[in-house]
Each structure stands twice: as C-alpha cells, then as structure tokens.
Amino acid sequence: MTSAVEITKVVKSTRPRRKKRHWLRSRKVLVGAAILAVFGVLAVIGPWIAPYDPSATSPDVLVPPSPQHLLGTTALGEDVFSQVLAGTRLSLEVGFLAALISETVAILVGITSGYLGGSADELLSLGTNIFLVIPVLPLQILIIAYLGNVSWVVTAAVIALTAWSHGARKLRAQTMSIRKRDYVEAARAAGEPAWRIVWFEILPNETAIIATGFLFSVLSGIIVQTGLAFLGLGDVASWSWGSVLRWSEASNAFLTGAWWWFVPPGLCLAVVGMGLALINLGIDEVVNPRLRGVGRVKTARERSRLTRRLIQLDHDAEKTAAPSRSGNSVLEITGLRVDYQTAHGALPAVRGVDLTLRRGEVLGIAGESGSGKSTLAFAVTRLLRAPGEVVGGSVKYFGRAKDGSALPRLDVLSASQAQLRRYRWEETAVVFQAAMNSLNPVLTVRAQLDDTIRAHRPKMAAADREARVGELLELVGIDRSRLGSYPHQLSGGQRQRVMIAMALALDPAVVIMDEPTTSLDVVVQRDIIRCIMDLRTRLDSSFIFITHDLSLLLEIADRIAVMYAGELVELGDAAQIQHQPRHPYTRRLLLSFPVLRGPRRKLAAIDGAAPNLRSIPTGCAFHPRCPLATDICRQEDPPLLSLPDQAGQPATSDTGGEARLVACHHVDETLQLRPVDALVQEELPR
C-alpha cells in the first residue's frame, strides 16, 4: 500500500509551481497604484492641509478658482477645495470597507459551495442566485432610506451585503474546476484536511480573481456611496464627493455656470476609477500573457524591423538554394524559429527546425509536452496567437492545380491575407485537440460543415453543399442521419470524426492533426486511427500527425520526427526509429511504453523533467537527463547531421532511401547499445 509519505511526495511534485508575480514591472499597475497612493495620502492628511473649514461660509459667493480659493466657492461661500479634501476620506473609506466585506463573503460562500458540492452547494447556490436576480441599486436605496441617517460603516456594510453574489458565483465556478485537478486529488489522498487544501491548494490559484473582484468592489462601493449621498441618503452630516455634488445640483450650479463646484468631485471619481481599472488590467496581463502589448500578434505590416529583417535574410538565403529539396515535396520548413514574448524576455519555443513533408505521406512529430510540437503546427499555418511570434526561418508550400500542374510556390510567412485565406483551409487544414471546445455547441453538425464550405465556395449551390456535407460525414464513418445532431449529442469519438470531416471539406493537400486522440479512451483512439488510415488510402493528402505517444506513430507514420526543447533531435522512417533509435531521447521514449506481449518488464522512465525555456541548458539540451552525456554534451550543441546508409553514403531521397537525421555527439555509441527489439522482449532488472 502506498504510504502517506509517498503520496505527499506526489502532492509536491504535481502541485503547480507558484509563479512569482512581478506586479511592479507592469506600468499599468505602477500608474494605478500611484493614483491610489496620492488619493490615499490626501484622505489621511486632507483635514490638516485644508485651508478652510469645509462648512464655513464667507461673503465670497460663487467665486471662480483663485489663489485664495483653489477650486472656487459655493453659493454660500464655502471653499470647494476643502470640501473635496474632506470628502475624499469618507468616499475611500466606504469603498474599501465595502470591498473588504463583500469579497470576504464571496470567498466564504463561493469556495465553500464549489469545494463541498452536494446539499451545501445547492443551498448556497440558491442564496447566491436570489441575490443575483434582485436589482441591487434599488435594494440598497430602500435599505438606506429605511435606516435613515446612518454612519458610513453601516452604509458600507449595506453596500457589501447586497453586492457579494457576483464574486461568489465566479469563485464557485473556479473552485469546481480546480478541485478536480490532480494536485488537489493527490492532497486529498494524502489525508490533508479540507481547510488546508482550500488554503494552500485552491485559494492561491484564485488570487487573480479575488484581486480583480476586490478592485471592482472598491470602485462600485465609491460609486454607490456617491449616488446615495447625491440622493441625500446615508450620513448626510459628513462631507463626501456625493454630498458636494448634491449641494451643487440643489443650487443649480450647472445652470449658473459654476463648473468648479461639480467638476472637481466628478473628476476625482473618474481618476480613482481609472487608477483601479489600470491595476485590474495590469493583473490581467500578468495572469494572461496574451493581453500583454509586448506579445500581440504582428501581421506582416506590423512586424518589428528586427523580425522582418531576420525573416528576409532567411528568404534571401533560400533564393540561392534549390527551389525544393525534392520534387515531391508539398511543404518545406527551413530554420523555423518561434519565440513567446513575455515580460521576462523571449522564450524560444521552436529553435531552427527543418522539415519536409512529401506528397501522400504521413509525417509524425513526437515529443514531450512543451517540446514545441503544437507551436510548430500553429506557426506553419500562421495561426500562432500572442504572445507567440515567428522570428526567423521560412515555410514554403508547393501546391498543385486540379490537373496536376505545379502552382507557384507560396511563402507562407509573408503571404497576404487573401493568400492565407485560401492556404489555411483549401490547401492546409488543421484538426485541433479537444473537439468539444472546437465545435460550436449551439449549431448542428450540418450547419458547421455547411458554413465551412460556404465560406470558401460562396457560389456553390445549396443542394451541392448538402450533398457534400453528407458525403463528408460518411467519409469518416458517421451516418448522414446525425447531420441534425448537436455536438453534445455525439460521443467523443464522433465529435473528433466531425472535426476530421470539417478539415477535409475542401480537399486540402495537407492535413495537420494536433493530438486528435487526446482525452479519448483506448477503444475510441483505435477507431480514430483506423479512420485516419482509411482516409490515407482513399485520399491524395499528406498528413502531419502530432502526438506525445511515439508508439502510436509507429503504426501510422511513414517518417517520424522527434522534438525536444524546441529542436529536432532525430528524423527517420518509422521502421528505423522503432528498431534502432539513434538518439538517447528517442530510445528512452520507446522504452517508456509498456509492451502488451511477453513477460512484464520495468518501464525505463526518463529521469528529470523537460528544461525550462527560460534557462535551456548549454550544449545539448538533453544532457541533464542523458545517460551518455559527457563534457562535450554540456559545452557544444550537436548539429543535426545525416547518417550514412549501409553503403557508407548519406541516405537521401535521391538515392532511394529515407534521410536519417540525428543530433547527438554520441550517435556512434548508440549502435553499441542493445536493440530496442531485444530489450522489450525481456524483463529489465529491478
């Protein structure tokens, strides 16, 4: 039986690392915090620096701003600057106290409801839903009016206790998602008490939601208090921004042109709101890198000079070379480099990858999570979203017309939007993982397939589109009667087949499948693989199949490319990879899968973890985990070289063989290791 100590180790290893939020590096947070700091200081020292008593009258009636009265005077001769300073403290006190109470209630209700579930969730959700449907502002006005002249503390409490439901709803949804994750399940299995799981596992992962909810509640509390004071409700004897606005409106300041009376409190309210909004946006940018300006997607016109120059240099080098590595190539990737721009610098996700896809072949790309497989697919189709950016290399597409004649070569990275529109679906299509998220839940299968065809073939008759839609569904093994079904009415395998049918709608020459069998059970995976193999024999398309399951690629791929830390480490035909892998990483991947026949054996897991892209090891990126690593591996990055064939000549497609590429300093030593076929037939020592 697994001990509690072992389970605790699993908890520590599966718990996501807490990222250090460098909030102070965000300009929005800095500016927003500076604004709030200024108003905070004014709220504290305001009564001491006010030149006059805010309620003191004088003969100077409705005087515009002057050295004696910086913001002018009221109809009774009161100093507006002194009133605004006095009102700053009360307005901020109400806003922050209301936010503190509101978020506390939201955290208690939302996290308790989401974590416990069952009857507790039903009861707490019922209370939350009741408050959600009640109009909050009218309820607040009624309560404060009933209570009469109450203190600012009571006003803040009323505002908070009627406005917590939205935050509780968000936290409940987030908690229900987090409680199902592996590190929470591991903590529960280790016997940790519920309070500790909530405090150390769930709450830290909801800090961004809590922070943004608190800031929003502060602004809402200030606005509501201002509105109540403007109506003459609450603590009418104390000065606030709302009371200043109330007396200006009662004295017809707007009609008399006394703008200095009502503009300052309104401007203070707007500036504080801007400060809170800037901090909120800064937090969002830290949590979601796609919102950062430094990582926005750049089109060809918007690329930086450096990126545009790097890609142009690659294109110029390509012009001096042969137009194609092989006359049978359909897609050529040369020196492709992709970075993810972050506040801490660029993360190299794909580093100088060279690949060629031949017509009619299945090219498999394998590697651990984070090796750059999906990023490569998105870059090839120009679907890379922020903060990803192609910073070098080239992608060439060699299309053919319907009569088989060659079309002009397309430079994908510099293609226009019109060229990309044709390339992305008519020439190259992508099957994404998680079909339930890719399909529109409110549209039928017929509507989604029909939209795809109509968008690219607007002149195609409706009857022809209907016939094509039915044909596509039958092509992937689904009966036409399911055309009227919605995604939720289909099984996981059927949804994935629909995604494949959608990708094949316009007969593309290249189909990229990004882990299409992820989250499917083994039986359904087998059906999807059979479907793909059948399509391969019936269609004249080339496939790029991306997966972390190397054993799966051995069944369907003609050639296999293995990636590690954004680099291509080995490329060869499937048989070569299976029987005699030449890179230690590829060998370890093969030995980490269990065998279904013969004696049981201990799996040879790969020690360590994939490198952090922020600090990729010098030399060979795999050397910290490699059993063959020596000093040269730690110092020099091995080049990707072509291995000689049995005759001692480099194996290329021109000589009739398949190119065998390996990036390893000890590639000759791997030949001395026992063949993988022999290892999988015996029990390894325990």
In a domain, 264, yes or no: yes
User: Is residue 297 in some structural domain?
Assistant: no
Strands (E), 308-414: 329-342, 345-358, 362-366, 388-397, 410-411
Contact 343, 25 (CB under 8 A): yes
In which domain, by residue range, is 607 found? Answer: 578-679
In the prediction, which pLDDT does 499 show? 87
Beta-carbon contacts of residue 76 (< 8 Å; ≥ 6 apart)? 57, 61
What pLDDT was estimated at residue 292? 57
What is residue 507's predicted lDDT score, i.e. its pLDDT? 83
- Residues 442, 542: one domain? yes
pLDDT in tens, 39-57: 999 999 988 888 999 989 8
Residue 301 has pLDDT above 50, yes or no: no
Select the highest-mean-pLDDT range: 62-66, 551-555, 641-645, 671-675.
62-66
Structural domain includes residue 8: no
Most confident range (mean pLDDT) of 66-70, 524-528, 601-605 is 66-70
pLDDT at 657: 46
Going through 607-651 in order, the beta strands assigned E by DSSP cover: 641-642
pLDDT in tens, 275-284: 999 998 888 8
pLDDT at 614: 83
- For residue 639, is it left (φ>0), alpha (ψ between -120 and 50) or beta? beta
Asked if residues 7 and 186 have their Cβ atoms less than 8 Å apart, the reply is yes
Residue holding tokens 């048989």? 575
Provide the CATH number for the domain around residue 273.
1.10.3720.10
Q: Note whether 658 and 525 are same-domain residues.
A: no
- The whole-angstrom distance between residue 201's C-alpha and the CA centroid of its chain comes to 21
Would 472 be classed as within a structural domain?
Answer: yes
Is 427 within a domain? yes
- The pLDDT of residue 323 is 46
Tell me, yes or no, whether 478 and 613 share the same domain.
no
Assign 533 a pLDDT band (cuts: 50, 70, 90): confident
Average pLDDT for 315-342 = 71
CA distances from 495 to 312, 431, 441, 482, 487 (A): 41, 11, 11, 11, 7
Residues 469 and 350 in one domain: yes
Q: Given this model, what pLDDT does residue 268 score? A: 94
498 with 635, same domain?
no
Mean pLDDT of the chain: 82
**Number of separate domains in the chain:** 3
Q: Above 70 in pLDDT, residue 299?
A: no
The predicted structure's pLDDT at residue 295: 41
The top-scoring range by mean pLDDT among 146-150, 214-218, 305-309, 596-600 is: 214-218
Q: List the one residue out of 311, 364, 374, 301 whose CA is nearest residue 337.
A: 311
Say how far apart CA 159 and CA 298 lie, in whole Å.
44
pLDDT in tens, 351-389: 999 999 998 899 999 988 888 898 999 999 888 887 888
- Of 219-223, 349-353, 386-390, least confident by mean pLDDT is 386-390
At 535, the amino acid letter reads L
Q: Return contacts of 110-114, CB within 8 angstroms, 24+ apart.
A: 110/167, 110/168, 110/169, 110/170, 110/171, 110/172, 110/175, 111/171, 111/172, 111/175, 111/198, 111/202, 111/203, 111/206, 113/168, 113/172, 113/175, 114/171, 114/172, 114/173, 114/174, 114/175, 114/176, 114/179
In angstroms, the CA 366 to CA 546 distance is: 6
Determine the pLDDT at residue 597: 61
- 548 and 584 housed in the same domain: no
In the block, which residue shows the tokens 């430079």?
A: 411
* 571, 666 Cβ separation under 8 angstroms: no
3-state secondary structure of 7: helix
Pair (492, 611) in one structural domain: no
pLDDT at 671: 66
For residue 52, the surrounding DSSP H or E stretch is none
Query: pLDDT band at residue 291, thresholds of 50, 70 and 90?
Result: low
Strand 388-397's sheet: what is its strand order?
Answer: 345-358, 329-342, 388-397, 410-411
Mean pLDDT in residue range 506-517: 85
pLDDT at 11 over 90: no
Residue 288 pLDDT grade (very low, low, confident, very high; cuts 50, 70, 90): low
Query: What would the pLDDT profile of 130-151 be if each residue is shown by its tens digit?
Result: 999 999 999 999 999 999 888 9
Give the mean pLDDT of 621-648: 83
Q: Residue 411, Cβ neighbours under 10 Å: how many?
A: 15
pLDDT, one tens digit per residue, over 152-201 is 999 999 999 999 999 999 999 999 988 888 788 888 887 888 888 888 88
Q: Last residue of some domain: 263, 287, 311?
A: 287
Q: Are residues 338 and 386 in the same domain?
A: yes
Is the model's pLDDT at 658 over the cut of 70? Answer: no
Say if residue 584 is in the same domain as residue 614. yes
Percent of the chain scored above 90 by pLDDT? 35
3 domain residue, yes or no = no
pLDDT in tens, 394-432: 999 998 877 777 788 889 998 888 888 888 878 888 887
- Tell me whether residue 302 is in a domain: no
Separation of alpha carbons 360 and 442, rounded Å: 36
Tens-place pLDDT, residues 69-106: 989 999 999 999 999 999 999 999 999 999 999 999 99
Quick one: 407 and 467 in the same domain?
Answer: yes
Tell me phi and psi for residue 243, to 5 degrees: -70, -35
553 shares a domain with 601:
no
Least confident of 478-487, 550-559, 561-570, 637-646: 637-646
Check: CB of residue 517 under 8 Å from CB of residue 527: no
Residue 393 has pLDDT above 50, yes or no: yes
Instruction: Indicate the residue among 287, 315, 350 that finishes a domain.
Output: 287
Q: 187 with 143, same domain? A: yes
Q: Which residue has the tokens 């208090």?
A: 225
| In-domain check, residue 27 | no
Mean pLDDT calculated for residue range 602-617: 80
pLDDT at 487: 87
Half-sphere exposure at residue 595, Cβ-oriented, CA atoms within 13 angstroms: 19
**CATH code of the domain containing 474:** 3.40.50.300
Residue that terminates a domain, selected from 257, 287, 317: 287
- Predicted pLDDT of residue 8: 43
